[in-house]
Amino acid sequence: MLWIALSLPQLPLDTVLRLQPRRAAAPIAPLVVTHKKRVGWCNPAAVEAGIRLGMSEANAWSMAADLQVHPRDVLKEQQALQEAALWALHFTPQVALQTSVHGCGLLAEVAPSLRLFEGLQKLLAQLARGIAELGLQGGWASAPTATGAWLLAQTAPLTVIDATAVRATAYLPGQSLAQAAALLDALPLHVLDAAQEHLATLTGIGCSTLGQLRRLPRGGLARRFGKALLNEIDRAYGDQPEVHRWFEAPETIDLKLELPARVENTEALLFAARRLLLQLTGWLTARHAAVAGITLWLHHEPARKRDSTGAVATSAASTPVAILLAAPSRDADHLGLLLRERLAHVVLVAPVVEIALVADSITLQAAPNTELFPTVASDTETIGRLVERLQSRLGTEAVRLLATSADHRPERSHASSALLQRRAPVRRSAARTGPGTAAKTATGNTGAGIALPPVAMRPGWLLPQPLALLTRQDKPFYQSPLTLLAGPDRIETGWWDDALALRDYFIAENDRHVLLWIFRLRPDGRGVDDGWFLHGFFA
């Protein structure tokens, strides 16, 4: 087994800092989080101002006039911890929440996931990157036991571990339990929850590390300090089994984020929306599901207006930013890229104070199989993602699908529709489907296929409106007299509406050897004279 532990000792502070707007040029003001009217956590600017942990609020105010004081919010801490757990579900279903006297954090058993994510270094780097994007900072460690990893994480630096830093700070797969025990032996005793009330006594007898504690007689330790201390040590070194309560993703998820300040640019909205995307995709991974579309709702600041009586009325507007997918997905990076393209073209009618993310359609999705060689499925996915990016950048109506229609009139024989249509927000099982069903799902509304009988040649380029031609010496004229090469191809249809078509089509050629598609009107009994018209060109 291989466990990764994330310790979040600064979680109360992170829940406040991650809501602060990012201004690189603005100086960072001193900020503290208080618990029971005393400073429990503070940022580096507060430390530089002389503020220390345990100081009263009044003394802290006297140290810095521009001090920002925030009371601890346990509910926001629980929400942030759940967001981190949802992100961890991307990598393993075995995620547990951990609480100790040093704070809270996560435990994840990742041994079955190492091959999928190409080793511990890359897995840990991806996991840490997502935690950082959630605005959380923590200490990372790994060990063959959950308790051992958690104890190691207590002394790890609060940083994002990359592939190079992992080797120097963490137990790696393939190492022996003795090597993991050597890392634990060097830890100070204060990392043990059961040792907190006995630290002074243990220090007095010259015992300051876990290794020194293990060398003491077990019987004497149990009689003097209780079994809880020995049990915690045994779990850390793998001498006693561990029991965990796994984190379960909720049946439904409500993705809303109240912004700390009025936002007037879409770049800041993308940063906030990224946090919601990480939660959504983690929840989808845990439910073995994917989305066929998402909508980011931008809730604007309420506007105040006075009516005719002088009373003040408030009204709030919301702007939807919809993303349609060619195929269901739960890839946070891909969804974030599409959302960036759409937000780049959104004009904010008013400052945004809150955002919400809605999954328009959720469907079950099996894990993808790896492919040695490109297949039709992989090519289809590539084309689908191209369509998604084009529609996100240009708009839904800019990328359209051509389809035939049951009408012989050339100008009405085809129609176009949006390539990706919004699906109804329903949940359905991911049953195995045939090629026809898969194609319809990938492209949305493709239109009904119509089997047409063999017809004469028709051009690929039709004019928006037929162009009336001159007649010289009883021959149609376009830049030069036209020579008829083929025809007539008679079309008589439209008697049921006001667009009756009585035409004889010909393929003609002028002196420049340009092939034209022309037709001559036939009398329809309504007083319409015949004449020649140009309808299209052959490539």
Residue 349 lies in a domain: yes
**144-152 mean pLDDT:** 91
Q: Does residue 55 sit in the same domain as residue 87?
A: no
Interatomic CA distance for residues 406 and 449, integer angstroms: 10
Q: Does residue 90 sit in the same domain as residue 139?
A: yes
| Burial (CB count <10 Å: 0-12, 13-18, 19+), residue 351 | middle
Q: What pLDDT band is residue 456 in, cutting at 50, 70 and 90?
A: low
Interatomic CA distance for residues 318 and 269, integer angstroms: 14
Q: Which amino acid is at 90?
A: H
Q: Which amino acid is at 239?
A: D
Provide the mean pLDDT of the chain. Answer: 78
Total domains in the fold of the chain: 4
Residue 244 lies in a domain: no
pTM: 0.66
Residue 165 lies in a domain: yes
Residue 27 lies in a domain: no
Domain boundary among 168, 201, 236: 236
Residue 418 dihedral angles phi and psi, to the nearest 5°: -60, 135
pLDDT > 90? residue 106? yes
Q: Does residue 10 sit in the same domain as residue 41?
A: no
Q: Does residue 404 sit in the same domain as residue 482?
A: no
Domain boundary among 392, 419, 452: 452
Q: Does residue 439 sit in the same domain as residue 304?
A: yes
Q: Does residue 411 sit in the same domain as residue 279?
A: yes
Residue 403 lies in a domain: yes
> Which domain CATH number covers 429?
3.30.1490.100
Q: Does residue 11 sit in the same domain as residue 135?
A: yes
pLDDT > 80? residue 223? yes
Q: Does residue 504 sit in the same domain as residue 482?
A: yes
pLDDT > 50? residue 358? yes
pLDDT in tens, 57-94: 889 888 888 888 999 999 999 989 999 999 999 899 99
Q: Does residue 160 sit in the same domain as residue 115?
A: yes
Residue 242 lies in a domain: no
Share of the chain above pLDDT 90, in %: 12
Residue 246 lies in a domain: no
Interatomic CA distance for residues 362 and 104, integer angstroms: 32
Q: Domain range holding 56?
A: 35-69
